[in-house]
Structure 1
Amino acid sequence: MFSAAEIKSLNETELEVYKYITKNRTEVLNMKIRDLADAAHVSTTTVLRFCKKIGCEGYAEFKLKYKMELSKNEVAKDYNDVHTMLQYFKRIDTEDFDNELNKVAELIYERSNVIFLGIGTSGILAKYGARFFSNIGKFSQHIDDPFYPVPNRYLDDSVVIILSVSGETRETIDQMHNFLNTKSVILSITNTNVNTIASMSDINLSYYMPMTIIGDSLNLTTQVPVLFILETLAKKVQKMEIDQ
Protein backbone atom coordinates (compact mmCIF):
# COMPACT_ATOMS: atom_id res chain seq x y z
CA MET A 1 0.00 0.00 0.00
CA PHE A 2 2.86 2.38 0.78
CA SER A 3 4.98 2.99 -2.33
CA ALA A 4 8.58 4.19 -2.10
CA ALA A 5 7.62 7.50 -3.72
CA GLU A 6 4.78 8.06 -1.23
CA ILE A 7 7.00 7.31 1.77
CA LYS A 8 9.72 9.58 0.43
CA SER A 9 7.22 12.45 0.21
CA LEU A 10 6.46 12.32 3.95
CA ASN A 11 7.95 14.91 6.26
CA GLU A 12 9.37 14.12 9.69
CA THR A 13 6.07 14.19 11.62
CA GLU A 14 4.20 12.28 8.90
CA LEU A 15 6.90 9.62 9.06
CA GLU A 16 6.06 9.17 12.74
CA VAL A 17 2.51 8.25 11.68
CA TYR A 18 3.88 5.79 9.10
CA LYS A 19 6.24 4.18 11.60
CA TYR A 20 3.48 3.80 14.20
CA ILE A 21 1.16 2.19 11.66
CA THR A 22 3.78 -0.32 10.47
CA LYS A 23 4.55 -1.33 14.06
CA ASN A 24 0.89 -1.57 15.13
CA ARG A 25 -0.83 -2.81 12.01
CA THR A 26 -3.94 -4.47 13.40
CA GLU A 27 -4.43 -2.07 16.33
CA VAL A 28 -4.69 0.90 13.95
CA LEU A 29 -7.86 -0.53 12.39
CA ASN A 30 -9.73 0.05 15.68
CA MET A 31 -8.33 3.51 16.37
CA LYS A 32 -10.06 6.83 15.78
CA ILE A 33 -8.05 9.59 14.16
CA ARG A 34 -7.49 11.28 17.53
CA ASP A 35 -6.28 7.98 19.02
CA LEU A 36 -3.74 7.53 16.23
CA ALA A 37 -2.57 11.13 16.48
CA ASP A 38 -2.04 10.81 20.23
CA ALA A 39 -0.25 7.47 19.89
CA ALA A 40 2.12 8.84 17.22
CA HIS A 41 2.56 12.13 19.15
CA VAL A 42 1.35 14.26 16.23
CA SER A 43 -1.73 16.34 15.44
CA THR A 44 -4.86 15.11 13.68
CA THR A 45 -3.95 17.51 10.85
CA THR A 46 -0.69 15.60 10.38
CA VAL A 47 -2.61 12.31 10.18
CA LEU A 48 -4.89 13.79 7.50
CA ARG A 49 -1.89 15.07 5.53
CA PHE A 50 -0.39 11.58 5.76
CA CYS A 51 -3.61 10.05 4.40
CA LYS A 52 -3.68 12.42 1.43
CA LYS A 53 -0.02 11.77 0.59
CA ILE A 54 -0.69 8.04 0.31
CA GLY A 55 -3.66 8.59 -1.97
CA CYS A 56 -6.61 8.66 0.44
CA GLU A 57 -9.19 11.42 0.73
CA GLY A 58 -9.39 11.05 4.49
CA TYR A 59 -8.83 8.82 7.50
CA ALA A 60 -11.91 6.67 6.89
CA GLU A 61 -10.77 5.83 3.36
CA PHE A 62 -7.27 5.05 4.67
CA LYS A 63 -8.63 2.57 7.24
CA LEU A 64 -10.75 0.86 4.60
CA LYS A 65 -7.87 0.51 2.13
CA TYR A 66 -5.49 -0.54 4.88
CA LYS A 67 -7.88 -3.23 6.08
CA MET A 68 -8.14 -4.56 2.53
CA GLU A 69 -4.34 -4.56 2.24
CA LEU A 70 -3.93 -6.51 5.48
CA SER A 71 -6.55 -9.04 4.43
CA LYS A 72 -4.43 -9.87 1.37
CA ASN A 73 -1.64 -10.96 3.68
CA GLU A 74 -3.56 -12.99 6.26
CA VAL A 75 -0.92 -15.69 6.04
CA ALA A 76 1.54 -13.27 7.65
CA LYS A 77 -0.62 -12.22 10.60
CA ASP A 78 2.39 -11.82 12.85
CA TYR A 79 5.16 -9.43 11.97
CA ASN A 80 8.08 -11.40 10.52
CA ASP A 81 11.16 -10.69 8.46
CA VAL A 82 10.07 -12.76 5.46
CA HIS A 83 6.85 -10.80 5.06
CA THR A 84 8.70 -7.52 5.56
CA MET A 85 11.33 -8.34 2.94
CA LEU A 86 8.74 -9.46 0.41
CA GLN A 87 6.93 -6.17 0.90
CA TYR A 88 10.21 -4.26 0.47
CA PHE A 89 11.14 -5.93 -2.81
CA LYS A 90 7.61 -5.48 -4.10
CA ARG A 91 7.83 -1.78 -3.20
CA ILE A 92 11.09 -1.16 -5.09
CA ASP A 93 10.23 -3.22 -8.16
CA THR A 94 9.57 -0.10 -10.20
CA GLU A 95 11.13 1.63 -13.18
CA ASP A 96 11.60 4.81 -11.11
CA PHE A 97 13.72 3.05 -8.50
CA ASP A 98 15.78 1.29 -11.15
CA ASN A 99 16.40 4.61 -12.91
CA GLU A 100 17.48 6.14 -9.60
CA LEU A 101 20.03 3.36 -9.13
CA ASN A 102 21.22 3.79 -12.72
CA LYS A 103 21.99 7.46 -12.08
CA VAL A 104 23.93 6.64 -8.93
CA ALA A 105 25.83 3.84 -10.67
CA GLU A 106 26.83 6.23 -13.45
CA LEU A 107 28.26 8.66 -10.90
CA ILE A 108 30.28 5.84 -9.33
CA TYR A 109 31.45 4.67 -12.75
CA GLU A 110 32.75 8.14 -13.60
CA ARG A 111 34.85 8.40 -10.41
CA SER A 112 38.17 6.67 -9.80
CA ASN A 113 37.70 5.72 -6.16
CA VAL A 114 34.93 4.56 -3.86
CA ILE A 115 35.22 5.06 -0.10
CA PHE A 116 32.74 3.38 2.24
CA LEU A 117 32.16 4.84 5.69
CA GLY A 118 30.24 3.39 8.62
CA ILE A 119 30.66 2.27 12.22
CA GLY A 120 29.30 -0.70 14.14
CA THR A 121 27.11 -2.91 11.94
CA SER A 122 27.29 -0.26 9.22
CA GLY A 123 31.08 -0.51 9.45
CA ILE A 124 30.88 -4.24 8.70
CA LEU A 125 28.64 -3.50 5.71
CA ALA A 126 31.10 -0.81 4.59
CA LYS A 127 33.85 -3.42 4.54
CA TYR A 128 31.61 -5.78 2.59
CA GLY A 129 30.69 -3.04 0.12
CA ALA A 130 34.34 -2.15 -0.48
CA ARG A 131 35.23 -5.80 -1.10
CA PHE A 132 32.26 -6.34 -3.42
CA PHE A 133 33.10 -3.26 -5.51
CA SER A 134 36.76 -4.32 -5.59
CA ASN A 135 35.62 -7.71 -6.92
CA ILE A 136 34.14 -6.02 -9.98
CA GLY A 137 37.33 -4.02 -10.56
CA LYS A 138 36.44 -0.70 -8.92
CA PHE A 139 39.13 0.53 -6.53
CA SER A 140 37.40 0.75 -3.15
CA GLN A 141 38.24 0.89 0.53
CA HIS A 142 36.31 1.13 3.78
CA ILE A 143 36.67 3.29 6.87
CA ASP A 144 35.12 2.02 10.10
CA ASP A 145 37.15 4.33 12.33
CA PRO A 146 35.44 7.76 12.52
CA PHE A 147 38.77 9.38 13.41
CA TYR A 148 40.70 7.90 10.47
CA PRO A 149 42.48 10.75 8.61
CA VAL A 150 41.97 10.96 4.82
CA PRO A 151 43.99 13.50 2.76
CA ASN A 152 41.66 15.87 0.90
CA ARG A 153 43.50 15.44 -2.41
CA TYR A 154 42.64 11.74 -2.35
CA LEU A 155 38.92 12.52 -2.17
CA ASP A 156 38.61 14.81 -5.19
CA ASP A 157 37.89 11.98 -7.63
CA SER A 158 35.97 9.79 -5.19
CA VAL A 159 32.45 8.75 -4.34
CA VAL A 160 32.00 8.50 -0.57
CA ILE A 161 29.27 6.03 0.37
CA ILE A 162 28.06 6.57 3.94
CA LEU A 163 26.04 3.86 5.67
CA SER A 164 23.87 4.60 8.69
CA VAL A 165 20.50 3.20 9.74
CA SER A 166 19.32 6.21 11.74
CA GLY A 167 21.28 8.85 9.85
CA GLU A 168 22.04 10.46 13.20
CA THR A 169 25.23 8.67 14.29
CA ARG A 170 27.31 11.48 15.81
CA GLU A 171 30.73 10.01 14.96
CA THR A 172 29.73 9.45 11.34
CA ILE A 173 28.39 13.00 11.06
CA ASP A 174 31.66 14.36 12.45
CA GLN A 175 33.61 12.38 9.85
CA MET A 176 31.31 13.65 7.09
CA HIS A 177 32.48 17.20 7.73
CA ASN A 178 35.91 16.16 6.41
CA PHE A 179 34.35 15.37 3.03
CA LEU A 180 32.16 18.46 2.59
CA ASN A 181 35.00 20.74 1.49
CA THR A 182 36.25 18.32 -1.17
CA LYS A 183 35.11 17.58 -4.72
CA SER A 184 33.92 14.11 -3.77
CA VAL A 185 30.33 13.01 -4.32
CA ILE A 186 28.67 12.01 -1.05
CA LEU A 187 26.07 9.23 -1.25
CA SER A 188 24.29 8.11 1.91
CA ILE A 189 22.20 4.98 2.41
CA THR A 190 19.88 5.38 5.40
CA ASN A 191 16.57 3.98 6.59
CA THR A 192 14.68 7.24 5.90
CA ASN A 193 15.55 10.44 4.08
CA VAL A 194 14.61 12.66 7.05
CA ASN A 195 17.82 12.78 9.08
CA THR A 196 21.06 14.73 9.38
CA ILE A 197 23.27 12.48 7.24
CA ALA A 198 20.72 12.41 4.40
CA SER A 199 20.42 16.20 4.44
CA MET A 200 24.23 16.60 4.33
CA SER A 201 24.60 14.23 1.36
CA ASP A 202 24.57 14.99 -2.36
CA ILE A 203 22.43 11.91 -2.91
CA ASN A 204 20.44 9.75 -0.51
CA LEU A 205 19.01 6.29 -1.00
CA SER A 206 16.57 5.22 1.72
CA TYR A 207 14.88 1.88 2.27
CA TYR A 208 12.16 2.52 4.90
CA MET A 209 12.11 -0.64 6.99
CA PRO A 210 10.52 -0.96 10.47
CA MET A 211 13.06 0.04 13.11
CA THR A 212 13.89 -2.63 15.70
CA ILE A 213 15.69 -1.22 18.74
CA ILE A 214 16.59 -3.22 21.85
CA GLY A 215 17.48 -1.29 24.98
CA ASP A 216 18.96 2.14 24.41
CA SER A 217 21.26 1.46 21.50
CA LEU A 218 21.09 -2.05 19.98
CA ASN A 219 19.68 -1.61 16.48
CA LEU A 220 18.42 -4.84 14.90
CA THR A 221 16.76 -3.21 11.89
CA THR A 222 17.28 -5.52 8.92
CA GLN A 223 20.15 -4.58 6.62
CA VAL A 224 19.13 -6.81 3.72
CA PRO A 225 18.02 -3.74 1.69
CA VAL A 226 21.49 -2.20 2.13
CA LEU A 227 23.16 -5.36 0.81
CA PHE A 228 20.75 -5.44 -2.11
CA ILE A 229 21.39 -1.78 -2.99
CA LEU A 230 25.19 -2.14 -2.76
CA GLU A 231 25.31 -5.31 -4.84
CA THR A 232 22.92 -3.90 -7.46
CA LEU A 233 24.95 -0.71 -7.80
CA ALA A 234 28.18 -2.71 -8.17
CA LYS A 235 26.69 -4.91 -10.89
CA LYS A 236 25.38 -1.87 -12.75
CA VAL A 237 28.85 -0.28 -12.60
CA GLN A 238 30.40 -3.53 -13.83
CA LYS A 239 28.00 -3.60 -16.80
CA MET A 240 29.00 -0.02 -17.68
CA GLU A 241 32.66 -1.05 -17.58
CA ILE A 242 31.98 -4.00 -19.91
CA ASP A 243 29.85 -1.95 -22.31
CA GLN A 244 32.45 0.82 -22.54
Structure 2
Amino acid sequence: MFNYEIIKNLNELELTLYRYIMKNIDKVIYMTIRELADEAHVSTTTILRFCKKLNCEGYSEFKVRLKMELQNNQSIDINNDTSAIIDFLKKLDNDEIDDKMNSICDLINEANNIVFIGSGTSGILCKYAAIYFCALGKIAMYIDDPYFPTNYKFCESSVVIVLSVSGENADIINNISNLKRENSTIVSITNSSNSTIAKISDLNISYYVKEEKIGVSDITTQIPVLFMIESIGKRFHSKYLADKN
Protein backbone atom coordinates (compact mmCIF):
# COMPACT_ATOMS: atom_id res chain seq x y z
CA MET A 1 0.00 0.00 0.00
CA PHE A 2 2.81 2.40 0.94
CA ASN A 3 5.35 1.70 -1.78
CA TYR A 4 8.42 3.71 -2.71
CA GLU A 5 6.76 5.57 -5.60
CA ILE A 6 3.96 6.81 -3.33
CA ILE A 7 6.15 7.74 -0.36
CA LYS A 8 8.62 9.76 -2.44
CA ASN A 9 5.76 11.96 -3.72
CA LEU A 10 4.49 12.91 -0.26
CA ASN A 11 5.12 16.47 0.97
CA GLU A 12 6.28 17.27 4.52
CA LEU A 13 2.78 17.41 6.04
CA GLU A 14 1.81 14.16 4.32
CA LEU A 15 5.01 12.51 5.57
CA THR A 16 4.10 13.61 9.10
CA LEU A 17 0.70 11.94 8.61
CA TYR A 18 2.34 8.83 7.15
CA ARG A 19 4.68 8.49 10.15
CA TYR A 20 1.77 8.84 12.57
CA ILE A 21 -0.29 6.21 10.72
CA MET A 22 2.55 3.70 10.65
CA LYS A 23 3.13 4.09 14.40
CA ASN A 24 -0.57 3.91 15.27
CA ILE A 25 -2.04 1.72 12.54
CA ASP A 26 -4.14 -0.32 15.03
CA LYS A 27 -5.90 2.85 16.21
CA VAL A 28 -6.17 4.65 12.87
CA ILE A 29 -8.48 2.01 11.34
CA TYR A 30 -11.13 3.02 13.91
CA MET A 31 -10.61 6.81 13.84
CA THR A 32 -12.81 9.36 12.13
CA ILE A 33 -11.09 11.76 9.77
CA ARG A 34 -11.42 14.54 12.36
CA GLU A 35 -9.89 12.40 15.10
CA LEU A 36 -6.94 11.51 12.86
CA ALA A 37 -6.45 15.15 11.90
CA ASP A 38 -6.35 16.19 15.58
CA GLU A 39 -4.00 13.36 16.61
CA ALA A 40 -1.59 13.78 13.68
CA HIS A 41 -1.75 17.60 13.83
CA VAL A 42 -2.73 18.00 10.18
CA SER A 43 -5.87 19.24 8.43
CA THR A 44 -8.63 17.06 7.03
CA THR A 45 -7.70 18.49 3.62
CA THR A 46 -4.19 17.06 4.03
CA ILE A 47 -5.68 13.66 4.90
CA LEU A 48 -7.93 13.67 1.83
CA ARG A 49 -5.03 14.69 -0.40
CA PHE A 50 -2.96 11.90 1.20
CA CYS A 51 -5.73 9.37 0.47
CA LYS A 52 -5.89 10.49 -3.15
CA LYS A 53 -2.15 9.91 -3.56
CA LEU A 54 -2.74 6.37 -2.35
CA ASN A 55 -5.35 5.96 -5.12
CA CYS A 56 -8.26 5.94 -2.65
CA GLU A 57 -11.53 7.73 -3.44
CA GLY A 58 -11.71 9.07 0.08
CA TYR A 59 -10.93 8.46 3.75
CA SER A 60 -13.46 5.61 4.07
CA GLU A 61 -11.82 3.61 1.28
CA PHE A 62 -8.39 4.34 2.77
CA LYS A 63 -9.47 2.87 6.15
CA VAL A 64 -10.92 -0.23 4.49
CA ARG A 65 -7.71 -0.86 2.55
CA LEU A 66 -5.58 -0.18 5.63
CA LYS A 67 -7.62 -2.65 7.66
CA MET A 68 -7.35 -5.30 4.94
CA GLU A 69 -3.58 -4.88 4.79
CA LEU A 70 -3.33 -5.16 8.56
CA GLN A 71 -5.42 -8.34 8.55
CA ASN A 72 -3.36 -9.85 5.72
CA ASN A 73 -0.12 -9.22 7.60
CA GLN A 74 -1.55 -10.74 10.78
CA SER A 75 -2.93 -13.85 9.08
CA ILE A 76 0.18 -14.93 7.18
CA ASP A 77 0.59 -18.68 7.44
CA ILE A 78 4.15 -19.76 6.78
CA ASN A 79 4.25 -23.09 5.04
CA ASN A 80 6.34 -25.68 6.89
CA ASP A 81 5.36 -28.58 4.65
CA THR A 82 8.42 -30.63 3.66
CA SER A 83 6.58 -32.44 0.85
CA ALA A 84 7.72 -29.84 -1.73
CA ILE A 85 11.37 -30.50 -0.85
CA ILE A 86 10.86 -34.26 -0.96
CA ASP A 87 9.13 -33.91 -4.33
CA PHE A 88 12.04 -31.82 -5.63
CA LEU A 89 14.59 -34.43 -4.54
CA LYS A 90 12.58 -37.12 -6.31
CA LYS A 91 12.48 -35.05 -9.52
CA LEU A 92 16.29 -34.87 -9.52
CA ASP A 93 16.41 -38.54 -10.47
CA ASN A 94 16.00 -38.00 -14.22
CA ASP A 95 18.28 -37.94 -17.22
CA GLU A 96 17.56 -34.31 -18.21
CA ILE A 97 18.77 -32.78 -14.92
CA ASP A 98 21.64 -35.27 -14.79
CA ASP A 99 22.78 -34.20 -18.27
CA LYS A 100 22.49 -30.51 -17.36
CA MET A 101 24.60 -30.91 -14.25
CA ASN A 102 27.26 -32.77 -16.22
CA SER A 103 27.20 -30.03 -18.89
CA ILE A 104 27.71 -27.38 -16.20
CA CYS A 105 30.72 -29.33 -14.90
CA ASP A 106 32.19 -29.39 -18.42
CA LEU A 107 31.65 -25.64 -18.82
CA ILE A 108 33.30 -24.94 -15.46
CA ASN A 109 36.31 -27.03 -16.41
CA GLU A 110 36.81 -25.15 -19.69
CA ALA A 111 36.26 -21.65 -18.27
CA ASN A 112 38.88 -19.21 -17.02
CA ASN A 113 36.77 -18.29 -13.98
CA ILE A 114 33.55 -19.11 -12.18
CA VAL A 115 31.46 -16.15 -11.04
CA PHE A 116 28.32 -16.58 -8.96
CA ILE A 117 25.87 -13.69 -9.06
CA GLY A 118 22.66 -13.02 -7.13
CA SER A 119 21.06 -10.65 -4.62
CA GLY A 120 19.27 -10.99 -1.30
CA THR A 121 19.22 -14.56 0.01
CA SER A 122 20.46 -15.71 -3.40
CA GLY A 123 23.43 -13.38 -2.92
CA ILE A 124 24.23 -15.09 0.38
CA LEU A 125 24.19 -18.44 -1.41
CA CYS A 126 26.53 -17.01 -4.06
CA LYS A 127 29.12 -16.36 -1.36
CA TYR A 128 28.62 -19.87 0.00
CA ALA A 129 28.93 -21.37 -3.50
CA ALA A 130 32.20 -19.52 -4.19
CA ILE A 131 33.68 -20.72 -0.89
CA TYR A 132 32.45 -24.26 -1.58
CA PHE A 133 34.06 -24.44 -5.03
CA CYS A 134 37.30 -22.93 -3.72
CA ALA A 135 37.36 -25.64 -1.04
CA LEU A 136 36.97 -28.26 -3.78
CA GLY A 137 39.96 -26.82 -5.65
CA LYS A 138 38.45 -24.49 -8.26
CA ILE A 139 38.85 -20.74 -7.76
CA ALA A 140 35.50 -18.96 -7.80
CA MET A 141 34.23 -15.43 -7.17
CA TYR A 142 30.84 -13.99 -6.32
CA ILE A 143 28.86 -10.78 -6.85
CA ASP A 144 26.12 -10.40 -4.23
CA ASP A 145 25.40 -6.73 -4.93
CA PRO A 146 24.23 -5.99 -8.50
CA TYR A 147 24.84 -2.26 -7.88
CA PHE A 148 28.52 -2.75 -7.08
CA PRO A 149 30.72 -1.15 -9.79
CA THR A 150 32.09 -4.05 -11.79
CA ASN A 151 34.79 -4.27 -14.43
CA TYR A 152 33.22 -6.94 -16.59
CA LYS A 153 36.53 -7.59 -18.37
CA PHE A 154 37.64 -9.78 -15.48
CA CYS A 155 34.68 -12.05 -16.30
CA GLU A 156 35.81 -12.59 -19.90
CA SER A 157 35.32 -16.21 -20.99
CA SER A 158 33.94 -17.10 -17.56
CA VAL A 159 31.08 -19.31 -16.51
CA VAL A 160 28.61 -17.07 -14.70
CA ILE A 161 26.18 -18.97 -12.49
CA VAL A 162 23.14 -16.83 -11.69
CA LEU A 163 20.99 -17.67 -8.67
CA SER A 164 17.49 -16.16 -8.62
CA VAL A 165 14.20 -17.41 -7.23
CA SER A 166 11.92 -15.21 -9.35
CA GLY A 167 14.26 -14.95 -12.32
CA GLU A 168 12.96 -11.41 -12.87
CA ASN A 169 15.43 -9.17 -11.03
CA ALA A 170 16.00 -6.24 -13.42
CA ASP A 171 19.46 -5.37 -12.07
CA ILE A 172 20.66 -8.96 -12.37
CA ILE A 173 19.31 -9.08 -15.93
CA ASN A 174 21.30 -5.93 -16.77
CA ASN A 175 24.41 -7.57 -15.33
CA ILE A 176 23.80 -10.65 -17.47
CA SER A 177 23.60 -8.50 -20.60
CA ASN A 178 26.96 -6.91 -19.77
CA LEU A 179 28.52 -10.28 -19.02
CA LYS A 180 27.29 -11.77 -22.29
CA ARG A 181 29.21 -9.07 -24.14
CA GLU A 182 32.38 -10.40 -22.53
CA ASN A 183 31.81 -13.85 -24.03
CA SER A 184 30.73 -15.31 -20.69
CA THR A 185 28.57 -18.41 -20.58
CA ILE A 186 25.44 -17.83 -18.48
CA VAL A 187 24.12 -20.68 -16.36
CA SER A 188 21.09 -20.00 -14.16
CA ILE A 189 19.35 -21.77 -11.31
CA THR A 190 15.82 -20.39 -11.00
CA ASN A 191 12.46 -21.49 -9.66
CA SER A 192 10.85 -21.44 -13.11
CA SER A 193 12.11 -22.01 -16.64
CA ASN A 194 9.59 -19.40 -17.85
CA SER A 195 11.39 -16.54 -16.10
CA THR A 196 13.37 -13.93 -18.03
CA ILE A 197 16.71 -14.95 -16.53
CA ALA A 198 16.08 -18.59 -17.41
CA LYS A 199 15.19 -17.69 -21.00
CA ILE A 200 18.30 -15.56 -21.63
CA SER A 201 20.67 -18.11 -20.07
CA ASP A 202 22.74 -20.53 -22.10
CA LEU A 203 21.74 -23.28 -19.69
CA ASN A 204 19.08 -23.30 -16.98
CA ILE A 205 18.03 -25.63 -14.18
CA SER A 206 14.68 -24.92 -12.53
CA TYR A 207 13.38 -26.47 -9.33
CA TYR A 208 9.66 -25.45 -9.15
CA VAL A 209 8.75 -25.01 -5.49
CA LYS A 210 5.97 -22.83 -4.14
CA GLU A 211 7.06 -19.20 -3.81
CA GLU A 212 6.36 -17.63 -0.43
CA LYS A 213 6.44 -13.99 0.66
CA ILE A 214 5.85 -11.97 3.80
CA GLY A 215 5.02 -8.50 2.50
CA VAL A 216 7.77 -7.75 -0.01
CA SER A 217 10.21 -10.22 1.58
CA ASP A 218 10.77 -13.45 -0.33
CA ILE A 219 11.04 -16.45 2.02
CA THR A 220 10.87 -19.17 -0.65
CA THR A 221 12.97 -22.14 0.43
CA GLN A 222 16.54 -22.16 -0.91
CA ILE A 223 17.16 -25.83 -0.06
CA PRO A 224 16.93 -26.92 -3.76
CA VAL A 225 19.52 -24.28 -4.75
CA LEU A 226 21.87 -25.30 -1.96
CA PHE A 227 21.52 -28.95 -2.94
CA MET A 228 22.27 -28.25 -6.60
CA ILE A 229 25.32 -26.10 -5.80
CA GLU A 230 26.81 -28.88 -3.72
CA SER A 231 25.82 -31.58 -6.20
CA ILE A 232 27.43 -29.73 -9.14
CA GLY A 233 30.55 -29.07 -7.05
CA LYS A 234 30.95 -32.70 -6.05
CA ARG A 235 30.38 -33.90 -9.61
CA PHE A 236 32.96 -31.44 -10.89
CA HIS A 237 35.51 -32.54 -8.31
CA SER A 238 34.97 -36.24 -9.05
CA LYS A 239 35.14 -35.71 -12.81
CA TYR A 240 38.05 -33.28 -13.12
CA LEU A 241 39.92 -32.77 -9.84
CA ALA A 242 39.94 -36.03 -7.90
CA ASP A 243 42.81 -37.56 -9.92
CA LYS A 244 44.96 -34.42 -9.49
CA ASN A 245 44.83 -34.51 -5.69
TM-score when normalising by structure 1: 0.64
Give the partner amino acid of 2:104: V
Task: Tell me, in whole angstroms, the C-alpha distance in 2 between the residues paired with 1:197 and 1:147.
Answer: 17
Task: Tell me, in whole angstroms, the C-alpha distance in 2 between the residues paired with 1:95 and 1:180.
Answer: 28
Instruction: Tell me, yes or no, if structure 1 residue 228 matches structure 2 residue 217.
Output: no
* Mapped contact 2:212–2:220 kept (Cα < 8 A): yes
Task: Tell me which structure has the larger Cα radius of gyration.
Answer: 2
Task: Tell me, in whole angstroms, the C-alpha distance in 1 between the residues paired with 2:142 and 2:153.
Answer: 17
Deviation at residue 140 of structure 1 after TM alignment: 0.6
User: Does 147-156 or 179-188 show the bigger shift?
Assistant: 147-156
Deviation at residue 109 of structure 1 after TM alignment: 1.4
Deviation at residue 203 of structure 1 after TM alignment: 1.0
- Which consecutive residues of structure 1, in runs of 5 or more, have no partner in the other structure? 1-78
Give the partner amino acid of 2:116: F
Residues 159-174 of structure 1 aligned to structure 2 (within 5 Å): 159-174=159-174
- Which consecutive residues of structure 2, in runs of 5 or more, have no partner in the other structure? 1-78
Give the aligned length. 165
1:87 match? 87
1:103 match? 103
Structure 1: 4+ residue segments shifted above 2 A: 147-153
Instruction: Tell me, yes or no, if structure 1 residue 149 matches structure 2 residue 149.
Output: yes
1:200 match? 200
Residues 1-244 of structure 1 aligned to structure 2 (within 5 Å): 80-215=80-215, 217-239=216-238, 240-243=240-243
RMSD over equivalenced CA pairs, Å: 1.5
* Mapped contact 1:130–1:142 kept (Cα < 8 A): yes
SS at match of 2:211: coil
Task: Tell me, in whole angstroms, the C-alpha distance in 2 between the residues paired with 1:231 and 1:81.
Answer: 23
Task: Tell me, in whole angstroms, the C-alpha distance in 1 between the residues paired with 2:94 and 2:204.
Answer: 18
SS at match of 1:222: coil
* Mapped contact 1:161–1:187 kept (Cα < 8 A): yes
Deviation at residue 156 of structure 1 after TM alignment: 1.9
Task: Tell me, in whole angstroms, the C-alpha distance in 2 between the residues paired with 1:237 and 1:149.
Answer: 30
Deviation at residue 149 of structure 1 after TM alignment: 3.2
Deviation at residue 184 of structure 1 after TM alignment: 1.0
Identify if the C-alpha distance between structure 1 residues 102 and 209 changes in structure 2 by more than 3 Å, giving closer, same or farther: same
* Mapped contact 2:157–2:182 kept (Cα < 8 A): no
Task: Tell me, in whole angstroms, the C-alpha distance in 2 between the residues paired with 1:197 and 1:213.
Answer: 20
Deviation at residue 213 of structure 1 after TM alignment: 1.7
Give the partner amino acid of 1:159: V
Task: Tell me, in whole angstroms, the C-alpha distance in 1 between the residues paired with 2:198 and 2:97.
Answer: 17
Deviation at residue 161 of structure 1 after TM alignment: 0.8
SS at match of 1:141: strand
Superposed CA offset, 1:75-109 (max 9, x none): xxxx6432221111111112332122111111111
TM-score when normalising by structure 2: 0.64
2:10 match? none
